[in-house]
């Protein structure tokens, strides 16, 4: 970590399904939805990213999804044990 650097946890979810991200945003209550630049619209669908940057929101979401994690290593990384 560098001098005067403050690291913050965040969660980002990317998808081409905007309705899905809007639903997640509504259920969780928060987050910021951004359009991603599409440099080749003839080849790629438009995509979107939902960001959760508030520490309280991030930890709340992680606590909610913890029981559904299927990979043991991810559970260990999340909880520390």
Expressed as residue numbers, the domain containing 38 is 11-79
Asked, for residue 6, whether it belongs to a domain, the answer is no
Higher pLDDT, 8 or 79: 8
User: Strand, helix or coil at 13?
Assistant: strand
Model pTM above 0.85:
no
The length of the chain in residues reads: 81
Per residue in 45-64, is it b (16+ CB within 10 Å) or e — as a string?
eebbebbbeeeebbeebeee
- State residue 8's pLDDT score: 83
Asked whether residue 41 carries a pLDDT value surpassing 80, the answer given is yes
In a domain? residue 5 = no
Does a structural domain hold residue 2?
no
Average pLDDT (46-51) is 93
Is 64 within a domain?
A: yes
* Average pLDDT, rounded, for the chain: 84
Query: What average pLDDT does this structure show over 49-66?
Result: 90
* C-alpha distances out from residue 19 to 25, 39, 59, Å: 10, 22, 24
CA dist., res. 65 & res. 29, Å (int)? 15
As for how many domains the chain has, the answer is: 1
Encode pLDDT of 3-13 as tens digits: 777 778 899 99
Does some domain include residue 56?
Answer: yes
Residue 45 within any structural domain of the chain: yes
Q: Where are the beta strands (DSSP E) in the chain?
A: 11-15, 32-36, 47-52
């Amino acid at each position: 970590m560098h001098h005067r650097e403050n690291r913050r946890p965040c969660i980002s979810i990317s998808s081409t399904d905007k309705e899905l991200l809007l639903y997640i945003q509504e259920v969780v209550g928060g987050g910021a939805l951004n359009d991603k630049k599409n440099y080749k619209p003839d080849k790629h669908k438009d995509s979107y990213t939902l960001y959760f940057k508030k520490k309280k929101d991030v930890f709340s979401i992680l606590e909610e999804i913890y029981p559904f994690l299927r990979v043991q290593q991810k559970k260990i990384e999340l909880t520390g044990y």
